Structure 1
Amino acid sequence: MNKGHITLPVKVAIAAFSTLLLSGCFESNRSSAQLCENYPQICEKLNVNDGQCRHERTDLIWLRFDVVKKPSDLNKFDELQLTKKYAKCMESAAQIETTTLKSKKTLRTEALFHAYDEIERLEQELKNSYQPSIIYYRWTQGDQDALEQFLKLEETEYLDSPEMQLGLATYYVDKDKLHTIDLLMKSLAFYDGRGGSTKEKTIPDVIKSLATANHSIGKLDHAYMWALVGGEMGLAIAKEQQLKLLYPMEDSRRHQIADIADDIASAVEGGDFNANMLHQLGALPSNDNS
């Protein structure tokens, strides 16, 4: 084969593949519109044919379709979360004055109030759910009965996830700092290294909470180490000079802790963290206040 030229069959294959990609994009759009035609109830009162909040609306439409197919509590909970995300977007969109089509503003306002109604409906339907994530959500919304239910699950496998352990930690943070730290480390241990909201939100919250909780009880080596872990993982932390003022120590010790932080950051990101890894920090000559 002449390496300087693309042969005709290859050109044909590339063209065909490009056509498939393009047709796939169009098909995706047609499918979304077809979904609304076949199941008008899932698109009714949304701001369809409007450029505002398009991505949030599309995600919500397809999730509503999932609920139609399988109306489980977890699917309804996902619908609730996406409805709240859609409503938040529409709160801004409803304020936009459209100079060419004044009816757009009315459409957006109606869609926003529809979203509020749907949030209320879904929360009502889920008020007796036994799914741990939903129980936790109800507690965060002020349901004290849900808090009691949630705490009863503490030593069960139902809370064996980064999110649920972090949820428990938020309850204990003002009551028992040592237990809070144990729960936060369990949260990291349950993380499998995958992407998504766990990596983007839960794990950063856990790392920052570990630095704060350790600092509050005088475990300064640990607090410094977790701050460095956060830095290794790209989180916004205090600048190096500020950290030196917060955690005064010999340079040799600072380098040792930095090496440990590097190992732990790599383990967390790879989903391989184990609380026993902190033993190497404990092996250093004590510099903590506890």
Structure 2
Amino acid sequence: MKISRAKFNTQLAITVFGTLLVTGCFESNRSTAQLCENNPSICAKLNVQDGQCRHERTDLIWKRFNVLKKPSDLNKFDELMLTKKYARCMELVAQIETTTLKAKKTLRTEALFHAFDSIERLELELKSSYQPSIIYYRWTQGDNEALEQFLKLEETEYLDTPELQLGLATYYVDKDKLHTIDLLQKSLMLYDGRAGKTRDKTVPEAIKSLATANHSLGNLDIAYLWALVGSEMDLPVAKQAQLKLLYPMEDARRDQISDIAGDIASAIEDGDFNSGLLSTLAIIDNKKE
């Protein structure tokens, strides 16, 4: 079937125009500077002409753009966290005295106050959010109503993340040590082995807390086990000589625990940890308090 020249030119024009629109939208924000130029409200009152806190500011600007496109609670929560990170950086640099650029200090101070205002605004907007991670954040900020909401979710799948299980454990640590241990182990079981904040913060905290909680219950062998797991994963734990003094035992027992600790550390790093790995030692006494 032949297509007339006029119809072909029309179709070609539509295709080219559509391509230009898509390309233009993409290329118009190829840099943070272009993003700010196209969306000045996103960058207003930030220290955009200042080299200080550049990485924190850039992350915040692009997240604000994401929120502009999709103002979901989780996107706003990410913006809140990045704003607080930016504010922490600006709190330091806003105090820097410059001999020739006094205006810089003023701009930094204004940017810091703007960050504080943004934090207050975002927290207010998220006050009624039902997202579990946001409820947990509100509790950590002293909201007792959020604590009640958080605890009601304990037996649901909504808290099935390493971070939120660790959060539950912090609530129970002074109330129920055995339950705390179960929650900490579940936190590690939910870890999928990926690099990132969970690997860098949540996993180490869970391991150290497991060593501490078991030690407080008198489960010294298993406390030693978790200390060795931490050592295997390059966490800041006591040196081997100190651990031997703290946990005296026969060499055969020490070697047995060391082997299992190595297996557990590997399983955690691969995202395959299962609390059943601990049963090899047969040292957990659930009757201890």
Name the counterpart of 1:101: 101
TM-score where L is the length of structure 1: 0.88
Distance 1:143 1:132 in 2: 14
Distance 1:75 1:92 in 2: 26
- After the TM superposition, which residues 127-206 of structure 1 pair with which residues of structure 2 at under 5 Å, given as runs? 127-206=127-206
- Are 1:64 and 1:79, in contact at CA under 8 Å, matched by a contact in 2? yes
SS at match of 2:222: helix
SS at match of 2:51: coil
Name the counterpart of 1:5: none
* Aligned-partner residue type, residue 270 of structure 2: G
* Aligned-partner residue type, residue 94 of structure 2: A
Distance 1:61 1:35 in 2: 8
What's the RMSD between the two structures over aligned residues?
1.8
Name the counterpart of 1:77: 77
- Are 2:57 and 2:86, in contact at CA under 8 Å, matched by a contact in 1? yes
Distance 1:141 1:157 in 2: 23
- Are 2:162 and 2:202, in contact at CA under 8 Å, matched by a contact in 1? yes
- Are 1:191 and 1:271, in contact at CA under 8 Å, matched by a contact in 2? yes
Deviations, residues 155-198 of structure 1 (Å, cap 9, x unaligned): 00000010010000000000000000000000000000001100
- Are 1:264 and 1:277, in contact at CA under 8 Å, matched by a contact in 2? yes
Q: Measure how far apart 1:102 and its partner are.
A: 1.1
Distance 1:29 1:68 in 2: 14
Structure 2 alignment gaps of length 5 or more: 1-26
- After the TM superposition, which residues 16-165 of structure 1 pair with which residues of structure 2 at under 5 Å, given as runs? 31-165=31-165
SS at match of 2:281: helix
Q: Measure how far apart 1:29 and its partner are.
A: 9.2
SS at match of 2:193: coil
Distance 2:99 2:92 in 1: 16
Distance 1:281 1:182 in 2: 17
- Are 1:53 and 1:86, in contact at CA under 8 Å, matched by a contact in 2? yes
Worse-matched range after superposition: 275-284 or 177-186? 275-284
SS at match of 1:258: helix
Q: Measure how far apart 1:101 and its partner are.
A: 1.4
Distance 1:220 1:29 in 2: 57
- Are 1:86 and 1:115, in contact at CA under 8 Å, matched by a contact in 2? yes
Deviations, residues 117-169 of structure 1 (Å, cap 9, x unaligned): 00000000000000000000000000000000000000000000100100000
Name the counterpart of 1:220: 220
SS at match of 2:186: helix
- Are 1:220 and 1:289, in contact at CA under 8 Å, matched by a contact in 2? no
Distance 1:173 1:289, change over 3 A: closer
Name the counterpart of 2:236: 236
- Are 1:192 and 1:271, in contact at CA under 8 Å, matched by a contact in 2? yes
Deviations, residues 230-274 of structure 1 (Å, cap 9, x unaligned): 000000101111111110101111011000000000000000000
SS at match of 2:31: helix
Deviations, residues 204-234 of structure 1 (Å, cap 9, x unaligned): 0000000000000000011000000000000
Distance 1:30 1:183 in 2: 44
How many residues were matched structurally? Answer: 262
Worse-matched range after superposition: 129-138 or 275-284? 275-284
- Are 1:172 and 1:179, in contact at CA under 8 Å, matched by a contact in 2? yes
SS at match of 1:45: coil
Deviations, residues 80-120 of structure 1 (Å, cap 9, x unaligned): 00000000000011011122211000000000000000000
Distance 2:199 2:157 in 1: 21
SS at match of 1:155: coil
How many percent identity over aligned positions?
77
Distance 2:62 2:28 in 1: 11
Distance 1:281 1:196 in 2: 31
Distance 1:152 1:172 in 2: 14
Distance 1:269 1:96, change over 3 A: same
Structure 1 alignment gaps of length 5 or more: 1-26
Distance 1:30 1:103, change over 3 A: farther
Distance 1:281 1:93, change over 3 A: same
List structure 1 runs of 4+ shifted beyond 6 angstroms: none
